[in-house]
């Protein structure tokens, strides 16, 4: 396993973390942080509340990563749960943190059927289209120049490659996807715009559908710039077949790819064998991205088992992150960064 260590962008120069001098961060097994072993962006999903209340969490995040993705703070259900009443507090806090520590931000997510306020789903088609355009324009313009990449549409396909039957699909039809990319681009032409989905790591009907859609959108001149491969994996299933080849075929369309939400869940409690398998999966995800020139980002969906969505959604599974609940690096971390 070979990991290149090129000169890092000036954007991600090392900075001192203010306000936590009395706390000593847990020592990593490698002297070089993850963000400094590759020229790709290395990120994590984060929560504003943990940034504010947990100095140890903040310190490890600052040390290891140069990109952050708001886990929930930029979703419609958080931003505008009640029509016309906006709550930017969490999103603003994460963006301020990123700017203060010379990190980039991945915006997540503009159009998603989940965590969607009931009032949005109840709108008739014509009004839904206007509200959707206003939502995208308002949010993207607020952070214009501060967001490197946006997950514009999220999880729009079923496993068989058909379109998911969402309120947007029902009321606006297939064409809404091209529309939302154009609206987002108009609001911030500098941001790279992504389609994002899970179970598209390998070659299968779902990733075929993403490939075909991106190909069509590019031919139509739609400003789509990337495909986000979520990479929520489980050691109970085999590693996705054709992962690296799939990344390459997506980039052949002239777009970037990014691993956007990586975690590898294991049946709990963890043991040495399970953690070793998990490490192998993370290593394959990492190395596959490093091997594809236009795989520009590797982001984990949370970096510590202390704060992971997995146990709440997959009962009996967990321990899915690179660091344990005490913020000690796990075998997956040291496999990537020996």
The model's confidence at residue 21, banded by pLDDT at 50, 70 and 90, is very low
Residue 62, SS3? helix
The C-alpha torsion from 44 through 168 and 246 to 282, rounded to 10°, is 20
Answer yes or no: is 6 within a domain: no
Residue 256, SS3? strand
Cβ-contact 38, 64 below 8 angstroms: no
C-alpha span between 1 and 283 (Å, rounded): 9
- For residue 189, pLDDT beyond 80: yes
pLDDT value for 210: 98
Q: Tell me: the pLDDT tens digits for 252-278?
A: 999 999 999 999 999 999 999 999 999
Q: What is the mean pLDDT of residues 90-106?
A: 98
Answer yes or no: is 127 within a domain: yes
C-alpha span between 82 and 137 (Å, rounded): 18
Which domain CATH number covers 50? 3.20.20.80
pLDDT value for 14: 31
C-alpha span between 130 and 133 (Å, rounded): 5
Length of the chain: 338
- For residue 213, pLDDT beyond 80: yes
Cβ-contact 256, 293 below 8 angstroms: no
Choose the weakest-confidence range: 6-20, 226-240, 278-292, 318-332.
6-20
Answer yes or no: is 235 within a domain: yes
Q: Tell me: the pLDDT tens digits for 140-169?
A: 999 999 999 999 999 999 999 999 999 999
pLDDT value for 85: 97
Antiparallel, parallel or unpaired: β 41-46 and 295-300: parallel
Answer yes or no: is 8 within a domain: no
C-alpha span between 185 and 181 (Å, rounded): 6
Average pLDDT, the chain: 92
Q: Which residues are catalytic?
A: 155, 261
The C-alpha torsion from 54 through 12 and 223 to 127, rounded to 10°, is 30
pLDDT value for 31: 73
DSSP string, 40-52: SEEEEEE-HHHHH
Based on the structure, what is the number of domains in the chain? 1
Answer yes or no: is 23 within a domain: no
Question: What tokens appear for 109 in the block?
Answer: 């997510």
Cβ-contact 3, 37 below 8 angstroms: yes
pLDDT value for 314: 97
Answer yes or no: is 231 within a domain: yes
- For residue 7, pLDDT beyond 50: no
- For residue 207, pLDDT beyond 90: yes
pLDDT value for 19: 33
Antiparallel, parallel or unpaired: β 67-70 and 149-154: unpaired
- For residue 326, pLDDT beyond 90: yes
pLDDT value for 16: 30
Q: What is the mean pLDDT of residues 178-184?
A: 98
Q: What is the mean pLDDT of residues 243-251?
A: 98
- For residue 128, pLDDT beyond 90: yes
Answer yes or no: is 141 within a domain: yes
Q: What is the pTM of this model?
A: 0.91
C-alpha span between 120 and 110 (Å, rounded): 13
- Structural domain containing residue 204: 28-336
Answer yes or no: is 298 within a domain: yes
Q: What is the mean pLDDT of residues 178-194?
A: 98
- For residue 125, pLDDT beyond 50: yes
Closest Cα partner for 132 from 176, 187, 88, 198?
176
Residue 310, SS3? helix
Q: Tell me: the pLDDT tens digits for 40-78?
A: 999 999 999 999 999 999 999 999 999 999 999 999 999
The answer for residues whose C-beta is within 8 angstroms of residue 265's C-beta and 6 or more apart is 232, 233, 234, 235, 310, 314, 317, 318, 319, 320
């Amino acid at each position: 396993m070979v990991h290149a260590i090129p000169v890092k962008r000036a954007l991600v120069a090392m900075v001192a973390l203010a306000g936590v001098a009395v706390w000593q961060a847990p020592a990593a097994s490698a002297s070089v942080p993850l963000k400094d072993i590759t020229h790709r962006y290395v990120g994590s999903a984060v929560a504003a509340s943990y940034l504010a209340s947990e100095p140890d969490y903040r310190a490890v995040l600052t040390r290891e990563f140069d990109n952050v993705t708001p886990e929930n703070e930029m979703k419609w259900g958080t931003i505008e749960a009640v029509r016309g009443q906006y709550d930017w507090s969490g999103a603003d806090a994460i963006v301020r943190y990123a700017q203060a520590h010379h990190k980039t931000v991945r915006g997540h997510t503009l159009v998603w059927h989940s965590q969607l306020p009931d009032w949005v789903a109840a709108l008739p088609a014509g009004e839904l289209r206007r509200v959707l355009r206003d939502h995208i324009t308002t949010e993207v313009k607020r952070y214009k120049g501060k967001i490197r990449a946006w997950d514009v549409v999220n999880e729009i396909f079923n496993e068989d490659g058909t379109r998911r039957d969402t309120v947007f699909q029902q009321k606006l039809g297939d064409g809404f996807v091209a529309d939302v990319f154009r609206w987002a681009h108009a609001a911030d032409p500098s941001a790279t715009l992504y389609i994002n989905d899970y179970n598209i790591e390998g070659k299968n009907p779902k990733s075929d559908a993403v490939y075909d859609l991106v190909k069509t959108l590019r031919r139509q001149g739609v400003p789509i710039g990337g495909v986000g491969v979520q990479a929520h994996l489980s050691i109970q299933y085999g590693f996705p077949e054709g992962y690296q080849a799939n990344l390459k075929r997506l980039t052949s369309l002239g777009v970037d790819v990014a691993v956007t939400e990586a975690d590898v869940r294991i049946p709990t409690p963890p043991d040495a064998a399970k953690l070793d398998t998990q490490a192998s999966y993370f290593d394959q995800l990492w190395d596959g991205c490093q091997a594809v020139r236009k795989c520009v980002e590797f982001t984990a969906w949370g970096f510590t088992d202390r704060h992971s969505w997995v146990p709440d959604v997959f009962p009996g599974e967990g321990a899915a992150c690179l660091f344990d609940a005490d913020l000690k690096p796990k075998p997956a971390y040291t496999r990537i960064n020996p």
